[in-house]
Structure 1
Amino acid sequence: MTRAWRATCSAVRSVGWYLGELMGDHDYAKYVAHLRAHHPDREVPTEKEFWRARWAAQDANPGARCC
């Protein structure tokens, strides 16, 4: 049963990771890592500032969104 439990836990973690990626939950952390690696002289915005700027950009340039 331990083997089946590990497989189930692994599947649940994988689904959780996928949904987090799909919904953008990890985007701020990726952005901060990118800034620190490629633009160390730039100030890192707070998470609230990051999301505010991202949503403003999406509203200004909706792209392929339906609504």
Structure 2
Amino acid sequence: MRSLRRALGSVRWYLRELTDESAYDRYVAHVRQGHPDARVPSRRDFERMRTDRQEADPRRGFRCC
């Protein structure tokens, strides 16, 4: 049972990294570590900031998918 849990945990981690689902978690950890007094944006605000930054980057261009 323990090895099954470990395997499922590894699959979950891999999928979250692959889909960049963990980006918000990394961002929150970064803000709390480097700027403990700063307000942590909500997940929705974070995704909006990330999308705006990607669309504004002339090297990447706008991607719909």
Instruction: Settle same-fold status: TM greater than 0.5.
Output: yes
Unaligned runs of 5+ in 1: none
Unaligned runs of 5+ in 2: none
1:7 aligns with 2:3: yes
More relative contact order, 1 or 2 (CA 8 Å, 6+ apart): 1
TM-score where L is the length of structure 1: 0.70
Runs of 4+ residues over 6 Å off in structure 1: none
State the Cα RMSD in Å.
2.2
Residue among 45, 49, 52 paired with 1:53: 49
Tell me which structure has the larger Cα radius of gyration. 1
CA distance in 1: counterparts of 2:37 and 2:2, whole angstroms:
44
TM-score where L is the length of structure 2: 0.72
